[in-house]
Amino acid sequence: MKKVDFKEIIVFEDEDYICINKPPFIATLEDRNDPVNINKIAKEYHQEAHACHRLDKETSGILALAKSTEAYRNLAIQFEKRKVQKMYHAVVAGKHDYDGVSVYLPIETKPGATSVRINKQEGKEAETIFFTEKAYKNHTLLRCYPLTGRMHQIRIHLACLKTPIVCDATYGGLPVFLSQLKKRYNLPQDQEEELPIMKRVALHAVSLTFTNMKGETITATAPYPKDFNVLIKQLEKHT
């Protein structure tokens, strides 16, 4: 991936916090398999910057970083007490009318695992609420509100509803091809086989609402990256 210009991805900044629109395919924290990560890039911009939470490597969207230990602790407590509101957009297959559907299923995460599972006996408490943002011909754009912050929470909870996120092979999500949306589709001459519209899990962190060190309520919003935007435009166009 191309080098990330940290200044270009900042969507909010005050004396204590920086909120960025994290690009897909970059880890939030140190990753032994990849020397590039948001924490490392952020420290070049502000020496004390540190991510207050994390997004999956493939997931794009809003991410908050603190500029001091005090600011980090302030937001960490808000996350712990579930006072931070997180809102994501996800694209799933099929038409669904979710009006505040709640999935309350405990999630088990094993050390070093690349996926999670539901375990009602030993899993940690996890809840996500889902709303339909827009239904297309054969797909649905959902608003997702995770009330807890477990690994892959939105992804596995949607899989439990039998509506996994498109392109999420880990939890049963299938890719979306233009030939599925467009009646008359011709494969480009320079391609031997059709490529999916999106090459990652169709999940984007849209907004984050929290209280800053002055007691002010902050809502930081991240616009769609190019690949997510292309998928939505194609769904709109062929509905």
What are 121-161's pLDDT values in tens digits? 999 999 999 999 999 999 999 999 999 999 999 999 999 99
Q: Do the domain assignments include residue 187? A: yes
Closest Cα partner for 38 from 79, 14, 66?
Answer: 66
User: Does the reported pTM lie above 0.75?
Assistant: yes
Q: Do the domain assignments include residue 38? A: yes
Q: Do the domain assignments include residue 96? A: yes
Catalytic residue at 56?
yes
Residue 91 is part of which domain span? 6-237
Q: Do the domain assignments include residue 218? A: yes
CATH number, domain containing residue 228: 3.30.2350.10
The amino acid sitting at 119 is N
pLDDT for 3 equals: 81
Mean pLDDT in order along the chain per 10 residues (239 residues)? 86 98 94 84 96 96 98 97 97 97 97 93 97 97 97 98 97 95 82 91 98 97 98 94
Q: What is the DSSP letter of 138?
A: S
Q: Do the domain assignments include residue 1? A: no
How many beta carbons lie within 10 A of that of residue 146, not counting itself? 20
Q: Show Cβ contacts of residue 101 under 8 Å, excluding neighbours closer than 6 positions.
A: 129, 130, 131, 161
pLDDT for 2 equals: 62
Please state, in angstroms and rounded to a whole number, the distance separating the CA atoms of residues 134 and 160.
Answer: 20
Annotated catalytic residue: which of 16, 56, 99, 190? 56
pLDDT for 33 equals: 72
Q: Do the domain assignments include residue 196? A: yes
Counted domains in the chain: 1
What tokens does 150 get? 């477990």
